[in-house]
A and B are shown apart, each in its own frame.
Chain A
Amino acid sequence: QQQVKQSPQSLIVQKGGISIINCAYENTAFDYFPWYQQFPGKGPALLIAIRPDVSEKKEGRFTISFNKSAKQFSLHIMDSQPGDSATYFCAASGPYSGGGADGLTFGKGTHLIIQP
């Protein structure tokens, strides 16, 4: 059972445009929703994160929108630049179904290409 569904799988955006990546989750116990950015040959790195008590968080050109009732959240990249070309993963944190400590459950990733 996939607990975090991410779309689209790949995305091409023109330079200066808005990139939008969507995620949906099922587990209402999730209480933290980060986005990670990964460049080829590197490990993922935290980009921005949000808690369910707010509907939006903005850091520079990156914004997370959060809809608790719909169990959805999205990443918006404004004024997209070629340097933003990377794979983006949404994630959700909360108890594993098997109990024990919290962990991060990742979406399957979105390969973003910004065309110059």
Chain B
Amino acid sequence: NAGVTQTPKFRVLKTGQSMTLLCAQDMNHEYMYWYRQDPGMGLRLIHYSVGEGTTAKGEVPDGYNVSRLKKQNFLLGLESAAPSQTSVYFCASSYSRPTGNTIYFGEGSWLTVV
């Protein structure tokens, strides 16, 4: 059972380039999330989805876009990367709303923007 899988694991981008992070979960979860983790800042929610075809903004959505065309996949896009987007990105999923439901995290994607 793979759980939550993120690709790529590492990426270096030049300022202004675009890229997409892919998240896949095999647990038939409705909710999916993208978080970023920065030193001393904890985990901050970028965007989330409560089901196929839905997306919503989280705490720090600026500069990112997402899509949930299939229930098992949640894509995070950076249209024009900036150095401030250098971070570790975590995808996560849960069966339903977080209250009372375990949120399962992927192993992270390390992104450096130079």
Instruction: Please list the residues of chain A having a beta carbon within 8 angstroms of any beta carbon in chain B.
Output: 6, 9, 31-32, 34, 41-46, 51, 89, 93-94, 96, 98, 100-109
- Cα distance A22–B4 when bound, in Å? 29
Q: Which 10 A-B pairs have the closest CB atoms?
A: A43-B105, A32-B99, A108-B42, A93-B98, A106-B42, A106-B43, A102-B97, A93-B99, A46-B102, A101-B50
Q: Mark B83-98, 1 if CB is under 8 A from A, else 0.
A: 0000000101000011
Asked if B41 CB lies within 8 Å of chain A CBs, one says yes
Which residues from B are CB-within-8-Å of A98?
57
B71-110 toward A: CB 8 Å interface, digit per residue (1/0)? Answer: 0000000000000000000101000011110110111100
Q: Which residues of A contact B99 (CB under 8 A)?
A: 31-32, 93-94, 102
Q: What are the residues of chain B within 8 A of A104 when measuring CB–CB?
A: 43, 45, 98, 103
The answer on a CB contact under 8 Å between A101 and B42 is: no
From known contacts A101-B97, A103-B58, A103-B98, infer whether A108 and B40 are also in contact, taking CB-CB under 8 Å: yes
Size of the chain B interface, CB-CB below 8 angstroms: 27
Nearest opposing residue in chain A for B56, CB measure = A100
- A103: nearest chain-B partner, CB-CB: B45
The smallest beta-carbon distance between A74 and chain B, in angstroms, is: 17
Q: Are A32 and B42 in contact (CB under 8 A)?
A: no
Tell me the bound Cα distance from A101 to B49 in angstroms.
Answer: 9
Q: Give min CB distance, A61 to chain B, whole Å.
A: 20
B53 to chain A, nearest CB (A): 14
Point out the residue from B59, B100, B107 that lies within 8 Å of A42, measured CB to CB.
B107
27 A-B residue pairs with CB within 8 Å? A32-B98, A32-B100, A34-B102, A41-B107, A41-B108, A42-B108, A43-B4, A43-B106, A43-B108, A44-B43, A44-B90, A44-B105, A45-B105, A46-B103, A96-B58, A96-B59, A100-B56, A101-B50, A101-B56, A101-B97, A102-B99, A103-B33, A103-B58, A103-B98, A106-B42, A106-B43, A108-B42
